[in-house]
Amino acid sequence: MLTMRKNWDIFCRVIDNFGDIGVCWRLGRQLAAEHGVAVRLWLDDLGALNPLCPAIDPNRREQTVAGVAIHQWSDPFPQVEAAAVVIEAFACELPPVYRASMARCPTLPVWINLEYLSAEPWIEGCHALASPQPPLDKHFFFPGFTAKTGGLLRESGLLNARDAVQARLSAHTALEVSLFCYDTAPVEALLSAWQRSDRPIRCRVPPGQPLAAVRRALGGMGPWQIGTLTVTPIPFLPQDDYDRLLWECDLNFVRGEDSFVRAQWAGRPLVWQAYRQDDEVHLDKLSAFLSRYTGGLPSPERDAVKSLFFAWNRGQDIEAAWSTFSAILPALRQHAEVWAKSLCAAGDLAGNLVKFVNSRL
């Protein structure tokens, strides 16, 4: 628990659909609930938070929900007193007037640039490094998968809640799948492969890019029943409800960062679509994650996982990759449970941030 520097400002610009705000909202809630922090979240698009947290009013410029004070980040930015701890999420660049306020503080704030998640080895050497911005220092904080990084967001009761839900589940006759993807995913090819599956498949698809891709592939508005394949549109779920969906499914297709992390905590097999970047840099991030994630698998299973992940991200050879991948799902389920437990060794992101701030006192 913090003894000083209890007021934190988090700045977030919505760029990756719901990914950026999803991370910042989870972080703000956990800091307030578990660490006694007074959190002020500055957000440029309140409408993007509303589907994740229906309790907020996107038309109100200031409001408090779940212990977090939510403020519209607008231009010009208001003259406000800087917080003791300032988180600049994903290099969003602080307003100049706010930086000036930071520089005037008798005790300079702890300034943190919260970076995007990556499994690439180089982040361990860059984690927590300072960048002098006289009279301030900005520190780079990298979420990650090892104890030499900031770890992953994980609320204190998350895994116990997951275990309680999964303990009540009955065995599934059909393969239960959630599908959350970008519009570049080869959805039509995947659905084609699923239609020829010997085991029934029940797929749940949220609105937005995933459902639009399914509608282009299958026509109509859904739900769809094609042979043993059932595809059902579902509403956009608030974060806690989405977590439960991941826990209940046998396989989760996820994207970006927030859903990617939550699928790993679900302890179930997953397929990740990385956010596409220029020069296919996202494939380097994909490869780095797969090197860690598949490290404990025998060679055939490791190759099957990598094949499907790359096919899903490149948009090619999906049907062959799915056939091999689906055959090893029981082994991948056990692996996913072990993987989730192993991630706890790095601590959790919110707790690690608090420890870092205390070290700067």
* Catalytic residue IDs: 20, 257
Dist CA 91 CA 116 (whole Å): 9
Q: Which residues of 302-336 are buried (b: 16+ CB within 10 A; e: fewer)?
A: bebbbbbbbbbbeeeebeebbeebbebbeebeebb
Written as six digits, the tokens of 281 are: 């840099």
Q: What is the 3-state secondary structure (H, E, C) of 86-130?
A: EEEECCCCCCHHHHHHHHHCCCCCEEEEECCCCCCCCHHHHCCCE
Dist CA 141 CA 112 (whole Å): 7
Phi, psi dihedral angles at 204 (to 5 degrees): -110, 130
The residues with which 272 forms a beta bridge, in sequence order, are: 254
Helix 318-327 vs helix 329-343: angle between axes, to the nearest 10 degrees? 80
Helix 209-218 vs helix 187-195: angle between axes, to the nearest 10 degrees? 60
3-state secondary structure of 249: coil
Q: What is the 3-state secondary structure (H, E, C) of 125-178?
A: HHCCCEEEECCEEEEEECCCCCCCCCCECCCCCHHHHHHHHHHCCCCCCCEEEE
